[in-house]
């Protein structure tokens, strides 16, 4: 099995830390990355503060992940400072990026043509979105106005995405895939889940430990699904690898072992209906 690509996510915005907005971007990205066999090792939520963001990016780079994704802070207002913080973190100047400027210009022209805005003039606030750290590549935003940026720093690819979920998803799905494929390759991921009927999660601990030890390549997680007199524990098994057959065989083997030990302990098992 080839090395699993490691990913860190940094969500940026005071509104997140004020509790004004629930960050759903990180969860969406975690699902996507897990689904292509990557591993999100860490996620952080940082205020609109250049020093704090730059510190966080430097710490992430020190851990040598394959990919660092930031979300938020790419817009036209003064508190949108992600590109500046990235530039400071990697000690590169912030420069007006010709391709990014073309992308921003084209978006405002389209918005003006459609009557969404009156004037497509490139004001300072709009031009600000085209200043990227030196060496970055601009990636088109099919939904909003701020382009994303991709910057290679040593072994790590640093991708800056907007914070508006529709824009973040649009870029991730429509214009970022070539960058993502270079990182994740064609790895395969599978997940299976069952529900165990048991007294409480503590009765499950010694049983799980046995199966976990015997199947180190499979990740097994327990989570209480329903409390009350009939406790239900959701057991999720997942694994990633290059070969589909191998991944499926490993999960099936762990699942069989788990069902056998649950039966021995007198616990009932049911399949988890797909979401």
Tell me whether residue 128 or residue 134 sits nearer to its own copies (CB atom).
128
* Near its own copies by CB under 8 A: residue from 2, 58, 77, 93: 77
* Near its own copies by CB under 8 A: residue from 95, 137, 195, 201: 201
Tell me whether residue 1 or residue 143 sits nearer to its own copies (CB atom).
143
- If one asks whether residue 259 binds its own copies (CB under 8 A), the answer comes out as no
3-state DSSP assignment of residue 62: helix
H-helix or E-strand spanning residue 171: none
The CB-of-207 to its own copies minimum distance in angstroms stands at 10
Q: CA 71, CA 160: separation in Å to the nearest integer? A: 6
Q: CA 11, CA 9: separation in Å to the nearest integer? A: 7
Q: CA 197, CA 168: separation in Å to the nearest integer? A: 40
Q: Closest Cα partner for 184 from 3, 5, 1? A: 5
The CB-of-44 to its own copies minimum distance in angstroms stands at 5
Binding segment toward its own copies, per CB under 8 A, in 23-31, 87-95, 130-138, 168-176: 23-31
- If one asks whether residue 226 binds its own copies (CB under 8 A), the answer comes out as no
Q: Closest Cα partner for 148 from 140, 106, 72? A: 140
- If one asks whether residue 59 binds its own copies (CB under 8 A), the answer comes out as yes
Strand partners, 39: 6
Contact 134, 95 (CB under 8 A): yes
What is the total count of residues that contact its own copies (CB under 8 A)? 72
- If one asks whether residue 212 binds its own copies (CB under 8 A), the answer comes out as yes
- If one asks whether residue 221 binds its own copies (CB under 8 A), the answer comes out as yes
Interface positions, 137-156, toward its own copies (CB under 8 A): 145
Q: CA 48, CA 45: separation in Å to the nearest integer? A: 10
- If one asks whether residue 274 binds its own copies (CB under 8 A), the answer comes out as no
């Amino acid at each position: 099995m080839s090395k699993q690509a490691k990913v860190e996510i940094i969500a940026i915005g005071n509104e997140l830390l004020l509790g004004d907005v629930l960050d759903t971007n990180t969860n969406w990205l975690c699902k996507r990355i897990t689904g292509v066999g990557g591993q999100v090792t860490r996620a952080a939520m940082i205020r609109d503060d250049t020093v704090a963001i730059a510190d966080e990016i430097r710490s992430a780079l020190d851990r040598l992940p394959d990919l660092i994704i930031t979300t938020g802070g790419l817009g036209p207002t003064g508190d949108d400072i992600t590109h500046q913080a990235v530039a400071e973190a990697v000690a590169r100047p912030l420069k007006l990026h010709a391709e990014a400027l073309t992308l921003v210009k084209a978006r405002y022209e389209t918005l003006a043509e459609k009557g969404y805005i009156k004037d497509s003039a490139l004001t300072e606030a709009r031009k600000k979105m085209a200043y990227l750290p030196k060496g970055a590549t601009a990636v088109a935003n099919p939904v909003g106005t701020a382009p994303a940026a991709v910057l290679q720093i040593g072994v790590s690819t640093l991708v800056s995405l907007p914070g508006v979920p529709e824009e973040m998803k649009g870029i991730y799905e429509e214009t970022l895939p070539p960058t993502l494929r270079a990182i994740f390759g064609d790895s395969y991921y599978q997940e299976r889940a069952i529900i165990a009927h048991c007294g409480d999660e503590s009765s499950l601990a010694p049983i799980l430990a046995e199966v976990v030890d015997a199947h180190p390549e499979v990740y097994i997680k327990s989570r209480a699904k329903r409390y009350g007199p009939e406790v239900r524990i959701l057991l999720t098994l997942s694994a990633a690898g290059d070969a589909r057959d191998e991944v499926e065989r490993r999960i099936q083997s762990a699942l069989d072992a788990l069902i056998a030990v649950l039966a021995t302990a007198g616990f009932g098992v049911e399949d988890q209906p797909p979401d």
